[in-house]
A = this chain, B = another copy of it.
Amino acid sequence: MPVFLNTADADFETAFAALLGAKREDSPDVDNVVAGIIADVRARGDAALVDLTQKFDRLVLTPETLRFSEEEIEALVAAVPAHERAALELAAERIRAYHARQMPEDAQWTDESGATLGWRWTPVSAAGLYVPGGLASYPSSVLMNAIPAKVAGVERLAMVVPTPDGVANPLVLLAARIAGVSEIYRIGGAQAVAALAYGTETIAPVDKITGPGNAFVAAAKRRVFGKVGIDMIAGPSEILVIADGDNDPDWIALDLLSQAEHDESAQSILITDSPAMAKAVVASVEKYLETLERRAIAGPSWRDYGAVIVVEDMDRAVALSNRVAPEHLELCVADPDALAEKITHAGAIFLGAWTPEAIGDYVGGPNHVLPTARSARFSSGLSVMDFVKRTTLAKMTPAALRSIGPAAETLAISESLEAHGLSVRARLSRLNE
């Protein structure tokens, strides 16, 4: 059974703190194995990739067949039904339109000292996209990772996706093609991350690696961080729904189950000011759990990590939600915009009962790669900003240096950095000659 809490209960604070602090993920310690795999790829390049792919994916490759050929991709994507292709294209178009608005602007200005200051944004040159194989191989994630990179202006986008026993997912390949991925390699695991970070004879190294993966992939990303940039390390998915009494309990139940069906460690939380709604949603969840295709996943998630919290009013709901800092937050209330104004920490907000979280997973436009495990307190979802970087600009005139240079010299001397001070003084002296 999920946890039932009521803010009116004497032990509420203790129980809520326990819910917040509960660890949902069991990360196996694979760090030593991963270190070995990375070292192997760095030492032997393609040969290591071939061996490791045979070992882990039961697939015999050669350096020449590590990469999907254009003909193979063509043949595979031709099998995708038209309505699925159309849905992917609609999603891609909407994601592209949303992310295009995120492009940051360059700036340059001259201040009262005569100094010209500013910054310029430039794209990362090459990005690598990790796509899991098997059950968690989602074409929507290909779009969500690749499109922001393309919008940012990344020239080269290399994708890796394991194909256990040689089985490829045509929709994943089609998504890659629609999104503008330049190269696709049929490798996965820590070895694929190592290949992207360090390069091999066949695969040129990239500057940034994004995309979700299992414990091996996560550990490999942590290890190559610094050599290349990485996105966040994603934890299990979460949703928090704030709902008033005027809702269809089935809608709310299905939204909660949308997270629960991802992963046994996923977490779904309902906060409501209506005890009757709480009861009705729980009953509806139980009803759907009888028949849901993924009930073997969604059931344990709901029973082990689900929570239903009854609050005295919506301000309390907001306060609790801000402490959770949920990845996904649905506001199924009469005036969702007003409530959203009070939210200080959340990855994505879905406003009103007509906006199921699943819309955001596919076709809404915003990114579905979002901060988990309370990290919305300090981080944001994936965006164009993850694929650009800022170079700051400063230009002094002699007059500007005369105006602000002496202060720099004073601070340099106070920090015992003589050469810093002298580099300013040498120029100031010229002005006094």
Asked whether B261 lies within 8 Å of A396 as measured between CB atoms, the reply is no
The answer for the CA separation of A26 and B88 in the assembled complex, in Å, is 49
Choose among B116, B344, B348, B408 the residue that contacts A125 (Cβ–Cβ < 8 A): B344
Could you say which residues of chain B place their CB within 8 Å of the CB of A355? 394-396, 401
Asked whether B107 lies within 8 Å of A392 as measured between CB atoms, the reply is no
Could you say which residues of chain B place their CB within 8 Å of the CB of A415? 138-140
Give the interface segment out of A44-52, A94-102, A188-196, A312-320.
A94-102
> 8 pairs across A/B with beta carbons < 8 Å?
A117-B364, A117-B366, A125-B377, A229-B377, A251-B426, A258-B423, A261-B419, A347-B392
Asked whether A229 lies within 8 Å of B375 as measured between CB atoms, the reply is yes
Interface hits, A381-406 → B, CB 8 Å: 381, 383, 385, 389-398, 400-401, 404-406
The answer for the CA separation of A392 and B369 in the assembled complex, in Å, is 11
How many copies of this protein are present in the complex?
2
A358 at the interface (CB under 8 A from B): yes
9 tightest A-B CB contacts, nearest first: A229-B378, A366-B392, A351-B395, A254-B423, A257-B419, A87-B407, A358-B420, A87-B410, A380-B390
> Smallest Cβ distance from A397 to chain B, in angstroms?
6
Could you say which residues of chain B place their CB within 8 Å of the CB of A17? none
The answer for the CA separation of A87 and B363 in the assembled complex, in Å, is 53
Q: Given contacts A261-B417, A407-B362, A410-B84, is CB(A424)–CB(B356) below 8 Å?
A: yes
Asked whether A411 lies within 8 Å of B350 as measured between CB atoms, the reply is no
A19 at the interface (CB under 8 A from B): no
Asked whether B359 lies within 8 Å of A404 as measured between CB atoms, the reply is yes
A184 at the interface (CB under 8 A from B): no
A294-B418, A337-B395, A361-B417 known; 18 other A-B pairs, CB under 8 Å? Answer: A91-B408, A91-B411, A94-B111, A98-B117, A171-B414, A207-B377, A261-B418, A293-B418, A298-B419, A336-B395, A345-B391, A349-B392, A350-B394, A352-B395, A358-B423, A359-B405, A364-B394, A380-B390
Partner-B contacts on A (CB < 8 A) = 83-84, 86-88, 90-91, 94, 97-98, 101, 104, 107, 109, 111, 115-117, 119-120, 122, 124-125, 135, 138-140, 171, 207-208, 226, 228-229, 233, 248, 250-251, 254-255, 257-258, 260-262, 288, 292-294, 298, 336-337, 340, 343-367, 370-371, 373, 375-381, 383, 385, 389-398, 400-401, 404-408, 410-412, 414-424, 426-427, 430
Q: Given contacts A248-B426, A411-B91, is CB(A419)–CB(B254) below 8 Å?
A: yes
Could you say which residues of chain B place their CB within 8 Å of the CB of A115? 364-365
Could you say which residues of chain B place their CB within 8 Å of the CB of A261? 417-420
Could you say which residues of chain B place their CB within 8 Å of the CB of A262? 417
The answer for the CA separation of A248 and B181 in the assembled complex, in Å, is 48
Q: Given contacts A101-B107, A407-B362, A414-B84, is CB(A354)–CB(B422) below 8 Å?
A: no
Choose among B90, B348, B363, B389 the residue that contacts A392 (Cβ–Cβ < 8 A): B348
> Smallest Cβ distance from A340 to chain B, in angstroms?
7
The answer for the CA separation of A88 and B411 in the assembled complex, in Å, is 7
